[in-house]
Amino acid sequence: MSEFTEIVALVEGRTEKIFLADLVVPSLAANGVYLTPIVISKPGQKGGDVRFSRVKNDIGLHLKQREDTYLTTFVDFYGIKGDWPGLSEAKQQHDPVDKAAVINSATRLKVEELFGKKGVGRRFIPYFAMHEFEALLFSGPDKLAAALHVSRSRIDKILADCGGPEKIDDSPENAPSKRIEKLSPGFRKTSTGIAVAKAIGLGEIRNRCPVFNGWLTTLEDLKGMSHG
């Protein structure tokens, strides 16, 4: 049995790839888990356009390549479209943990139906950011406020109204990215967003975002299980 575990992460775009590479990869590597982020083929247009009919091809490709690796995803819940397994049922849930449970289960079932002979039940671990990557940045209200050049009270109000970073609305008007744009129209997700995430630190993001933390805990628990 290998002493380390390899995971491929299919990510929505460049920002997610950099976030994983800069913050998550080093943390997992210290645990003997090696994650490689790869951008999904033909990325969707700005605002998110992630369809299962497209992503399933990448999922199948990576499941077939090596049967001793794991596969995960890092895409925005807000960006996935109507053909995604379990999406309508997940949207009926109010708590992000429940949303994640529903869509994760439905996605794994569908992928297992398509590629069951590749050990999907063991090797495929979907993750959907609730409700967008930008929600994670609300884990550090002081850091986010400083980057946006606004008072911390404005960030605190959003968090108080919604109940936490992962509970920030996923509507077109009130998604995390839209709220940030209203506060700072020139906000750049890839440069400023990554800088804010680094300033906050992975530990604090995990403390404030239970769905994100649960996903990382699952990946950490795979240590030494590449062939198991």
The answer to whether position 41 is within a domain reads: yes
My answer on whether 119 and 33 are in the same domain is yes
* pTM, rounded to two decimals: 0.91
The 10s digit of each residue's pLDDT in 142-197 is 999 999 999 999 999 999 999 999 999 877 788 999 999 999 998 998 999 999 99
Q: Are residues 97 and 144 in the same domain?
A: no
CA–CA separation, 152 vs 140, rounded Å? 10
Cα–Cα distances (Å) from 6 to 1, 37, 71, 168, 201, in that order, read 13, 11, 9, 32, 23
Flag whether pLDDT at 32 surpasses 60: yes
What pLDDT, on the 0 to 100 scale, is given for residue 90? 95
69 in the same domain as 179: no
Q: Name the H helices within the chain.
A: 14-19, 25-29, 52-65, 87-91, 96-115, 120-123, 141-148, 152-162, 176-183, 194-200, 202-208, 210-220
Three-state SS for 78? Answer: helix
Question: Is residue 227, in this structure, part of any structural domain at all?
Answer: no
CATH code for position 35: 3.40.50
Same domain flag for 213 and 121: yes
Both 106 and 214 in a single domain?
yes
Domain that holds residue 169: 133-202
Same domain, 119 and 189: no
Check: CB of residue 10 under 8 Å from CB of residue 55: yes
Query: Mean pLDDT in the chain?
Result: 90
Q: Is residue 58 part of a domain?
A: yes
The reply to whether 45 and 126 lie within a common domain is yes
State the Cα–Cα distance between residues 27 and 22, nearest whole angstrom.
9
- pLDDT above 80 (res 15): yes
Whether 31 and 44 map to the same domain: the answer is yes
Q: Which residue has the higher pLDDT, 54 or 72?
A: 72
* Same domain for 70 and 15: yes
Domain count, the chain: 2
> Confidence class of residue 224 from pLDDT cuts 50, 70 and 90?
confident
Does residue 29 sit in the same domain as residue 53? yes
Q: Check if the beta carbon of residue 7 is closer than 8 Å to that of residue 222.
A: yes
What is the pLDDT, as a whole number, of residue 112? 92
pLDDT band at 223 (very low <50, low <70, confident <90, very high): confident
- Confidence at residue 203, expressed as pLDDT on a 0 to 100 scale: 97
**22 occurs within a structural domain:** yes
Percent share of the chain, pLDDT over 90 = 75
Q: Are residues 69 and 168 in the same domain?
A: no
- Say if residue 208's pLDDT is above 60: yes
Between CA 205 and CA 146 the distance in angstroms is 17
Tokens 């929600």 — which residue? 135
> Do residues 19 and 126 share a domain?
yes
Give domain status of residue 228, yes or no: no
- Selection from 87, 72, 188 nearest residue 126 by Cα: 72
Whether residue 172 is contained in a domain is answered as yes
CA separation for the pair 221, 224 (Å, rounded) = 9
